[in-house]
């Protein structure tokens, strides 16, 4: 074990991991985080806490992660290079670790253009791969990025994202290889709807043995309505929703679309479980956290392993 991370323990013990997501509130309302925490309860191994997702200001991932930790959940601190330089990032990493947060996800972040502060300067002092290198150096060498020693270095289980559906497709495996070389421990992928393309990517991943060097959690999202399916297909950059999924939602009566979306999601999880090299799922039920227990149960992934 490199860390005390529960997610690491679940994965290394050979269990199929389940992570989910919690978007912090847009205001000083900790009750909302606890509400989401209660919904997720013991149905997941760890919970991603987003960092100003879609470039909208929210309660900091750090603060919300502390609330989750206090509620007995295991937060995955998300951090983007968009909003902080390397000083601020390292400061927050040792701060978070001091609060018992030992798992994090290193991201570059959505462009400010998509959020409610399009006029903000994006920082991008380092990129996501240099970010992984920095957190690994802090953990394994006990040194800050600038080279000085850290007293009681933060032992973070290091995650990153991968999008097998973005272009150019042919370099997407090489991009993962770069994250592995930088020191990533686990990967959470973009939401998977196009299973064929994901399988093709996994084939490339296995060919290079990358699935043995990091844990790959396959991203899944339940679709609520046919409108959401169309929106993700047409409007979200880097999202690949095949027409047959849109058609299936469209063929379902409106009042049954939510259930159909959950059925599609459960089927997807079952198929992803069969793919060699997939170590778990990352369930992104955006503003639909209360459906997580149902999905996890239907997918046969409950109860979660008891690991402390």
Partner 1 sequence: MITAERKPIDEIIEYIRPFQKILLVGCNECVTVCSAGGRKEVGILSSMLQMAFLKQGKSLQMLEHTLERQCDPEYVEELVSMIDGVDAVVSMACGCGVQEVARRYRNKPVFPAVNTKFMGASERQGVWAERCAGCGDCLLGITAGICPIARCSKQLMNGPCGGSTNGKCEISPEVDCAWALIWERLKALNLTERYEEIIPAKDWRNGRGAGPRKIVREDLAE
Q: How far is CA 17 from CA 6, 43, 91, 223, 264, in A?
A: 10, 11, 29, 21, 20
Residues that bind partner 1 (CB under 8 A): 81-82, 86, 108-111, 113, 122, 124-130, 133-134, 145, 161-163, 165-168, 170-171, 174-175, 177-178, 181-182, 190, 237-238
Nearer CB in complex with partner 1: 95/238: 238
Nearer CB in complex with partner 1: 181/251: 181
The radius of gyration of the chain from alpha carbons, rounded to an integer in Å, stands at: 19
Q: How far is CA 111 from CA 21, 160, 218, in A?
A: 20, 17, 23
Q: How far is CA 231 from CA 86, 109, 148, 236, 258, in A?
A: 35, 20, 47, 7, 15
Residue matched to tokens 């005390």: 4
- Least separation in angstroms between residue 42's CB and partner 1 is 31
Nearer CB in complex with partner 1: 107/301: 107
Nearer CB in complex with partner 1: 13/234: 234
What 3-state class would DSSP assign to 166? coil
Q: Which sign, positive or negative, has the C-alpha torsion 254, 258, 261, 266?
A: negative
Nearer CB in complex with partner 1: 56/166: 166
Q: What is the 3-state secondary structure (H, E, C) of 168-226?
A: CHHHHHHHHHHHHHHCCCEEEEEECCCHHHHHHHHHHHHHCCHHHCCEEEEEECCCCCH
- Least separation in angstroms between residue 193's CB and partner 1 is 15
Are 144 and 170 within 8 A, CB to CB? Answer: no
Nearer CB in complex with partner 1: 190/221: 190
């Amino acid at each position: 074990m490199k860390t005390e991370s529960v997610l690491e323990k679940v994965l290394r013990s050979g269990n199929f991991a389940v992570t989910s997501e919690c978007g912090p509130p847009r205001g000083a309302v900790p009750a909302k985080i606890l509400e989401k925490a209660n919904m997720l309860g013991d149905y997941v191994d760890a919970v991603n806490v987003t960092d100003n997702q879609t470039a909208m200001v929210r309660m900091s991932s750090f603060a919300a992660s502390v609330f989750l930790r206090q509620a007995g959940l295991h937060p995955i601190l998300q951090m983007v290079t968009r909003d902080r330089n390397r000083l601020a990032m390292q400061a927050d990493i040792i701060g978070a670790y001091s609060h018992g947060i030992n798992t994090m996800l290193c991201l570059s972040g959505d462009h400010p253009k998509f959020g409610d502060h399009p006029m903000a300067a994006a920082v991008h002092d380092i990129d996501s791969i240099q970010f992984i290198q920095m957190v690994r150096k802090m953990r394994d060498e006990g040194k800050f990025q600038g080279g000085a020693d850290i007293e009681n270095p933060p032992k973070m289980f290091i995650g990153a994202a991968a999008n097998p559906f973005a272009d150019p497709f042919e370099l997407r495996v090489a991009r993962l290889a770069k994250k592995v070389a930088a020191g990533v421990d686990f990967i959470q992928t973009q939401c998977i709807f196009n299973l064929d393309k994901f399988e093709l990517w996994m084939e490339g991943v296995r060919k290079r043995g990358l699935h043995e060097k990091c844990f790959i959690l396959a991203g899944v999202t339940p679709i609520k309505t046919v409108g959401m399916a169309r929106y993700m297909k047409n409007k979200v950059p880097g999202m690949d929703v095949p027409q047959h999924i849109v058609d299936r939602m469209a063929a379902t009566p409106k009042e049954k679309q939510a259930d159909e979306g959950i059925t599609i999601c459960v089927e997807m999880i079952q198929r992803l479980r069969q793919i060699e090299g997939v170590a778990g799922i990352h369930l992104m039920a955006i503003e639909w956290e209360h459906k997580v227990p149902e999905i996890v149960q239907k997918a046969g992934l409950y109860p979660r392993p008891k690991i402390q």
